[in-house]
Amino acid sequence: YFTEAQTAITIGETGVLTSNDSGNGNLLIAQQATLSQTATIQSLSFYVTTAGGNLILGIYDATGPNGGPGAKKAETNSFTPTTGWNTATVITPISLPAGTYWLAYLPSSSSLAFRLAYTGSAKWYSYTYGVMPATFSPSPTGSDLVHWSFYATLDTSPPPSDTTAPTTPTGLSATAVS
């Protein structure tokens, strides 16, 4: 959760889009998003119209071929989605520099339904439901001008500074070696 000193920003699509989509069970799908400043990833949110199965959300950098999804930066634990916005915290928050990223989702069931729009950039391939791979496929089987109601929340506040002075170690001993 955020304290007063923290500032939350989002990347991705925070609106509920109008077109329906489903049938993506066991597909790892990523949509492009731009981060304008250094920030720490906190959570990922995905809008669901019909709940079904389980879902994992993640974020990849753009080190893949032609700026596509590359290395996984963070992901959520598997969860059972409900109708409406589903927000899950990432397992390990990590600071991300400004740049292009890919928000990824991995549904276990094709009955899960959600919203999309025919703008943006997305890539996907078949992937058995489970922990997301460390690296996105360099040759995804699908690519389209599309994106979903899916966004990341990040914290822009700098990490706390270390204000504790070092202490003198105690309990040390040394033996001369001749």
**pLDDT for residue 2:** 47
Distance CA 158, CA 39 (A): 8
Could you tell me the pTM of the whole model?
0.86
Q: Which residues neighbour 174 within 8 Å (Cβ) at sequence distance 6 or greater?
A: none
Could you report the average pLDDT of every consecutive run of 10 residues in the chain (178 residues)? 69 97 97 97 98 98 97 98 98 97 98 96 96 97 95 86 72 76
Name every residue whose Cβ is closer than 8 Å to that of residue 169 and which is 6 or more positions away in sequence: none
At 163 the pLDDT is 67
The pLDDT assigned to 4 comes to 47
Sort residue 24 into left (φ over 0), alpha (ψ -120 to 50) or beta: alpha
pLDDT of residue 173: 76
pLDDT at 170: 79
